[in-house]
Amino acid sequence: MTAGRPFRRLLVANRGEIAVRIIRACRELGIESIAVHSEADVDALHVRLADRSVLIGAASPAASYLSIDRIVAAAREAGADAVHPGYGFLSENAAFARAVEAAGIVFVGPPPAAIEALGDKLAARRAVAGAGVPLVPGLTVPLDDDVAIDPAQLGFPIMLKAAAGGGGRGMRRVNEAGELAAALAVARREAQTAFGDATVYAERLISPARHVEIQLLGDQHGHLVCLGERDCSVQRRNQKLVEESPSPAVTPQLRAAMFDCARRVAGTVAFHSAATVEFLLDVAGDHYFLEMNTRLQVEHGVTELVTGLDLVAWQIRIAAGEPLPDDLTDRTPSGHAIEVRLYAEDPWDGFRPVAGNVSAFRMPDGPGVRVDAGVEAGTRLPVDYDPLLAKLLVHAADRPAAIARLRRALDETLIGGVQTDAGFLRWLVDDDAFASGDYDTGLIAERWRDGPAADPAQLAIAGAVALAARIDAPASVAGAAPIAAGVRPWTDAARREGLSR
Amino acid sequence: MSDLEARIGGELVAPDGWRVDWVDRTAGLARVSDVTTSRLVLVEGSGTSWVVTVAGRRIAVIVESWRERTLAAADVTASAGGGPLDVKASLPGLVVSIAVATGSTVTAGEALLTIEAMKMQNEVRAPRDGIVGEVVVAAGSAVATGQLLLRLD
């Protein structure tokens, strides 16, 4: 590895926790960080942590974080010599990568041609099939209104997917031919909103299935390594909530076979930087290629914990032309890491996203705990963006120890102002199927369903604390019954008698 | 001595056996313990209306005196009685489609309309059986939290 900093000034073309993550990597590499923000993010954490930030437009993503012109102009005016796109937004947009390069700025990511080839999921399916990689059976052409699905060929249920997609957006399960038209309309609309491209295709639904992915890291000198797998089978709305490495379902033989497939997929394009090859595993243990994401994943930290590598720093170094170390080879995960995603959403109401203010934000620490947060106490959550608040990661010697650590860490977590999925995650660590490792993508639908009712102890605690809160309310917020400071003998008496047994 | 009582979902809660110690009253952070366990919880709110976050779950608690409860009950009696129910937006977003019209008969849980927010299509479902009265919004309307969407008779 060469001495000195890879770049002088890097613009982070993203928001939230991933922008914070990249700013931290810049700090450690001695690179000046330039954030960008929309009008909704003026007070956001990533804006305050960066060396400086540029306002790029209105809250709507199209006017700000998805605006190639505005972000490239901001990078140019700031004098940035590199741009990191994070995940989501423009991270897999080849036109953005080309526009950055045309401005004489280095794009931290794979070559635009690779982004383009793999970003079109249909073209990727055709290319990958030619490389001898097993695919989920399905269409390799767009699903147009006049293309009738032949059930004999594909068979219901099927999964509709956005050709420009990824991250679970624009996906819809269709159980029978009669549901197709309505599902197609919704999938197209979501695809258009999320990716600006309404093209949809169909695959056979593999169920039950596990979602397992291989992390790739390659330099510009032909050195490519597979950094183990991540199991991402705890999902709602086809989106990941929990990721772990190693996967309880992956044997050394299967890992070797998936590494081989991942290399073949990457070999269909000229590739460098970080990327992920996603697979489905069926009950027989067979694996099927889903897609290759030519960007950093949300869950990259899991791999960082079990490999000891800083993937974001390596992305930046690789973009600057640095080679990977000669002795860096394919990795088997070391120890066990689990990530849980803390979202502003209500797991007791179908994991519905919620808006609001994060009034309190207490995250765990201690041995083996890592928190990547994009908010802090006082953050107002804009409705325009993904409601991910933070990622909580734990690392321990083995899976049972990692689960025990996660349980402890979740018990230390307290987020106020908005409902989060923390209660679901706390339930999950005690769930028998999750604890056994024998679970699939149906876990939430089959085992959580709408979640258990609050137990009597939780209700009693809530009642006790609410009573104490009203009795001890500070005079300024006491509402109906202001109390002079220091003069409240009856409240102390009530607390002793009623609550402190 | 105070006659305050705590209710969750209309049910009286007996807070027996739990000791509450403030870690930070201003922030609403408390340690709750019984003889065997102890945990941190968060409480937010004011007056009679509080929300306690325990084990990741936000639980709404009404804390009232007998007098306050009697007055509140009188209010509810005046406005309820199987009358119309306002269905409001639970989050801000864009109404993308409406599945019902004035006069539609709906059952509890049936989809009424779809609001796009946070990049997701969120279905608003009927909170109870009823007949759709006035539909206040149209497809394409931007709505704010708490805004009236339609009335259920």
Q: Are strands A158-162 and A200-204 parallel, antiparallel or unpaired?
A: antiparallel
Residue type at A72 in one-letter notation: V
- B56 vs A360: CB contact, 8 Å cut-off? no
- B28 vs A383: CB contact, 8 Å cut-off? no
| pLDDT score of A197 | 85
- A467 vs B63: CB contact, 8 Å cut-off? yes
**A124 pLDDT higher than 50:** yes
| pLDDT score of B114 | 86
Q: Quick one: average pLDDT of B28-34? A: 95
Q: Using the 8-state DSSP alphabet, how is residue A397 labeled?
A: S
| pLDDT score of A397 | 98
- Dihedral sign for Cα A7, A9, A12, A18, please: positive
| pLDDT score of A478 | 39
**CB-CB contact of A389 with A18 (8 Å):** no
Please choose, from the candidates A203, A130, A137, A132, the residue with its C-alpha nearest in 3D space to the C-alpha of residue A165: A203
Instruction: Pick the more confident residue, B71 or A201.
Output: A201
Average pLDDT, chain B: 85
For the whole model, what pTM was predicted? 0.85
Do you find a cis peptide bond into A325, omega within 30 degrees of 0?
A: no
Chain A contacts in chain B segment 31-70 (CB below 8 A): 32, 39-48, 50, 52-59, 61, 63, 68
Q: Are strands B57-64 and B49-54 parallel, antiparallel or unpaired?
A: antiparallel
Concatenated DSSP letters for B1-50?
----EEEETTEEE--TT-EEEEEETTTTEEEEE-SS-EEEEEEEEETTEE
Mutual angle of helices A16-29 and A311-319, in 10-degree steps? 70
E strand spans, A163-272:
172-174, 200-204, 209-218, 224-236, 239-245
Chain B contacts in chain A segment 334-363 (CB below 8 A): 348, 352-355, 359-360, 362
Sequence-distant (≥ 6) Cβ neighbours of residue A43 within 8 angstroms = A379, A380
- CB of A246 within 8 Å of a chain B CB? The answer is no
Query: How many CB atoms within 10 Å of residue A360?
Result: 20
Q: Quick one: average pLDDT of A365-382? A: 96
Shortest CA gap B119–chain A (Å)? 7
- B121 vs A186: CB contact, 8 Å cut-off? yes
Q: Which residues of A touch B28 (CB under 8 A)?
A: 359-360, 416, 469
Sequence-distant (≥ 6) Cβ neighbours of residue A371 within 8 angstroms = A363, A364, A365, A390, A391, A392, A393
- For residues A213 and A288, give the distance between their C-alpha atoms in angstroms, rounded to a whole number: 11
| pLDDT score of B81 | 47
Instruction: Pick the more confident residue, B27 or A230.
Output: A230
**B8 pLDDT higher than 80:** yes
Sequence-distant (≥ 6) Cβ neighbours of residue A388 within 8 angstroms = A16, A17, A298, A341, A342, A343, A374
**A91 pLDDT higher than 70:** yes
ipTM: 0.84
- A465 vs B58: CB contact, 8 Å cut-off? no
Q: pLDDT grade, residue A316 (50/70/90)?
A: very high
Q: Are strands B148-152 and B130-135 parallel, antiparallel or unpaired?
A: antiparallel
Shortest CA gap B147–chain A (Å)? 14
**A493 pLDDT higher than 70:** no
**For A6-52, what is each residue's pLDDT tens digit?**
999 999 999 999 999 999 999 999 999 999 999 999 999 999 999 99
Q: pLDDT grade, residue A489 (50/70/90)?
A: very low
**A347 pLDDT higher than 50:** yes
Lowest-pLDDT choice from A122-126, A221-225, A373-377: A122-126
**For B121-143, what is each residue's pLDDT tens digit?**
777 888 788 889 889 898 888 88
- For residues A446 and A83, give the distance between their C-alpha atoms in angstroms, rounded to a whole number: 42
Q: Quick one: average pLDDT of A329-345? A: 97
**A153 pLDDT higher than 80:** no
**For A167-179, what is each residue's pLDDT tens digit?**
677 788 899 888 8
- A411 vs B39: CB contact, 8 Å cut-off? yes
- A383 vs B118: CB contact, 8 Å cut-off? yes
- A500 vs B32: CB contact, 8 Å cut-off? no
**A490 pLDDT higher than 60:** no
Q: Which residues of A touch B26 (CB under 8 A)?
A: 474
Shortest CA gap A473–chain B (Å)? 8
Shortest CA gap A384–chain B (Å)? 5
Q: pLDDT grade, residue A3 (50/70/90)?
A: low
- CB of B3 within 8 Å of a chain A CB? The answer is no
**B75 pLDDT higher than 80:** no
Please choose, from the candidates A202, A108, A111, A116, the residue with its C-alpha nearest in 3D space to the C-alpha of residue A153: A202
- For residues A113 and B152, give the distance between their C-alpha atoms in angstroms, rounded to a whole number: 54
- For residues A463 and B30, give the distance between their C-alpha atoms in angstroms, rounded to a whole number: 13
| pLDDT score of A480 | 37
For residue B4, give the nearest of A362, A383, A467 by CB distance: A467
**B109 pLDDT higher than 90:** no
- B56 vs A423: CB contact, 8 Å cut-off? yes
| pLDDT score of A122 | 87
- A494 vs B2: CB contact, 8 Å cut-off? yes
**A367 pLDDT higher than 90:** yes
**B147 pLDDT higher than 60:** yes
- For residues B92 and B124, give the distance between their C-alpha atoms in angstroms, rounded to a whole number: 12
**For A92-103, what is each residue's pLDDT tens digit?**
999 999 999 999
Q: Which residues are B118's β-sheet partners?
A: none
Sequence-distant (≥ 6) Cβ neighbours of residue A269 within 8 angstroms = A110, A111, A113, A114, A117, A118, A127
Shortest CA gap B113–chain A (Å)? 13
Shortest CA gap B94–chain A (Å)? 11
- B118 vs A385: CB contact, 8 Å cut-off? yes
Shortest CA gap B57–chain A (Å)? 5
Q: pLDDT grade, residue A473 (50/70/90)?
A: confident
Mutate to test the interface with B, among A172, A352, A458, A459 (most CBs of B within 10 A): A459
Residue type at A158 in one-letter notation: I
- For residues B43 and A465, give the distance between their C-alpha atoms in angstroms, rounded to a whole number: 7
* Residue A369: strand, helix, or coil: strand
**For A69-80, what is each residue's pLDDT tens digit?**
999 999 999 999
- CB of B99 within 8 Å of a chain A CB? The answer is no
Q: Are strands A158-162 and B105-106 parallel, antiparallel or unpaired?
A: unpaired
Concatenated DSSP letters for A22-54?
HHHHHHHHT-EEEEEEEGGGTT-HHHHHSSEEE
Q: pLDDT grade, residue A355 (50/70/90)?
A: confident
Q: Quick one: average pLDDT of A434-449? A: 96
Name the percent of chain A lying above pLDDT 70. Answer: 92
Q: pLDDT grade, residue B96 (50/70/90)?
A: confident
Shortest CA gap B26–chain A (Å)? 7
Name the percent of chain B lying above pLDDT 90. Answer: 35
Average pLDDT, chain A: 91
**CB-CB contact of A160 with A143 (8 Å):** yes
In total, the C-beta contacts within 8 angstroms joining chain A to chain B are 188
